[in-house]
Structure 1
């Protein structure tokens, strides 16, 4: 099934189920007022939501309305947890190589994870707020999973059963703030502002054979303006699976219902597929030309992130944002 959160004047919106073709939706707030409320009691809410979704598909649901992604908030506008990994180690290796930095061997077997802002998530068509273009605004096309309650110490094998939903991410990064923050030895903060998520979150079964229980084997299509910037295959070169990332996050603490775990920038070793972020393209610029030729985002630029199934249909809807300067 596909779930979305629509604006209703409240911080957490209202929960709806969405048709597979993303054309229609039906209210589900009689089952759970919000997606977070549904995740809090997922074993009870999920079968009822699935029944509502089946009714939408069959044309027998009441109160069906057109689904407008412009009215969608992030599926979880205020999440208790947003932990983003770096599962595509090729991305890290490439960026470090371009600046002649050593690549620790531990990066290949010990996941990198940072904890981002979760209380102010952006909807799929909300502007990307940018205070100053000199901060080096970058998009990062990613995939994220949403969990139910994960006990502390859950291992990788058990973690797979805790994945309840999948969605797309634009993990905005202010690149020119990264090095100074990392240099302090305390990790990202100001360099990782608000994150945007796809219009809908889907249960893994919606992905069919493209979901193997640990990875999504489809291309993530990222456009900058009208130009395809990259289309890396998300299952390829993903060193750390989602269950591995979940077990890493849960090593010393539980994850509450509605925890969002991100993949990090989707990246393939093959340069022909392009990139899902500007930093990776700039790294390849340096390695190929000895200079950077790709600029960071400027106010007015548009970014679109989407994933299509094997029939060419959008699965999650598109993250479609324009950079807007603010004071």
Structure 2
């Protein structure tokens, strides 16, 4: 099954997508509320939809507009290796030990065709092609075997990145902060695991992931090339704490899924950073496509944030 959230007359409206038509769930019902049993929710919507609307007539929102948390992992070795070359480094040994992640901003989640402003102070704007798992139930100290059943579905994800801000702030030995929290694009659809089961391979699914800027393909990979599985990611995230229904866990960037990897392998002349007027198109077979236009953000200076005793 495939589910969407769209801008309805009275706010966000969730529905089941069937053959380019959306069968709406009851008014006020959010996908996050029914993630524990999406098949039942979809069957009810087919029997007695609140409305039936053509997909082409609605503005899609993120499938989960208000996730409790968004964790972003790094599971594609090709991406890690390519970006490491920017710093004349290699893939760190610790990367192989466990699926590392950071928390990004759940307030910055936007829809699959929303405009994306350049973050304040950024001159090296970039995209990241990923696939996220959305949890239908949570738990604490889950085993890898238990974690598999927590997945309600998968959705396309773009972790927008202000590379110059990210690289500067990580010199302080903390994770990315303002370099990563301006926007995260989710959608267009949330796809249940059973629909993808025929493509199961490796740690994910044998489906193509493709990134293009202004119509020119700049990178592609196979989703199955993840070095860690989603159950491993979920179980690791739950160690000593909780994961909850609605949590979003991104795969991290696939191989060739961002400009930073191009810069690391081929130099900064390989592709210009994103700028207002550019259009980024990301797609994953079975999960649909995002088309995002870059627009001007606000101007900002960092001097006002400088430590008072600095010279």
Residue-pair matches, total: 297
Separation in structure 2 between the aligned mates of residue 145 and residue 244 of structure 1, nearest angstrom: 12
Which residue is 1:324 aligned to?
Answer: 295
Which residue is 1:26 aligned to?
Answer: 23
Q: Structure 1 residues 184-193 or 99-108, which shifts more?
A: 99-108
- 2:284 corresponds, among 291, 307, 311, to 307
- 1:121 corresponds, among 64, 89, 109, to 109
- Residues 252-288 of structure 1 deviation map (CA, whole Å, 9 limit, x = unaligned): 2111110100100011xxxxxxx211111111103xx
Q: Does 1:234 align with 2:226?
A: no
TM-score (norm 1): 0.84
Separation in structure 1 between the aligned mates of residue 192 and residue 15 of structure 2, nearest angstrom: 14
Separation in structure 1 between the aligned mates of residue 169 and residue 26 of structure 2, nearest angstrom: 42
Gaps of at least 5 residues in structure 1 are: 268-274, 309-314
Within 5 Å, give how 1:84-163 maps onto structure 2: 84-131=72-119, 134-163=122-151
Go from structure 1 to structure 2 and tell me whether the alpha carbon gap of 1:213 and 1:131 turns closer, same or farther (over 3 Å shift). closer
Q: Does 1:221 align with 2:210?
A: yes
Q: Deviation of residue 93 (structure 1)?
A: 1.9
Go from structure 1 to structure 2 and tell me whether the alpha carbon gap of 1:292 and 1:51 turns closer, same or farther (over 3 Å shift). same
TM-score (norm 2): 0.88
Q: Deviation of residue 69 (structure 1)?
A: 7.7
Q: Deviation of residue 316 (structure 1)?
A: 2.7
Which residue is 2:34 aligned to?
Answer: 38
Structure with a larger share of its residues in strand: 2
- Residues 32-60 of structure 1 deviation map (CA, whole Å, 9 limit, x = unaligned): 61111213xx24xx3432314666xxxx9
Q: Does 1:2 align with 2:7?
A: no
Q: Deviation of residue 317 (structure 1)?
A: 2.7
Are 2:70 and 2:248, in contact at CA under 8 Å, matched by a contact in 1?
A: yes
- 2:66 corresponds, among 74, 78, 88, to 78
Which residue is 2:159 aligned to?
Answer: 171
Are 1:149 and 1:254, in contact at CA under 8 Å, matched by a contact in 2?
A: no
Which residue is 1:15 aligned to?
Answer: 14
Which residue is 1:211 aligned to?
Answer: 200
Gaps of at least 5 residues in structure 2 are: 299-311
SS of match in other structure, 2:43: helix
Q: Structure 1 residues 128-137 or 297-306, which shifts more?
A: 128-137
Separation in structure 2 between the aligned mates of residue 136 and residue 104 of structure 1, nearest angstrom: 24
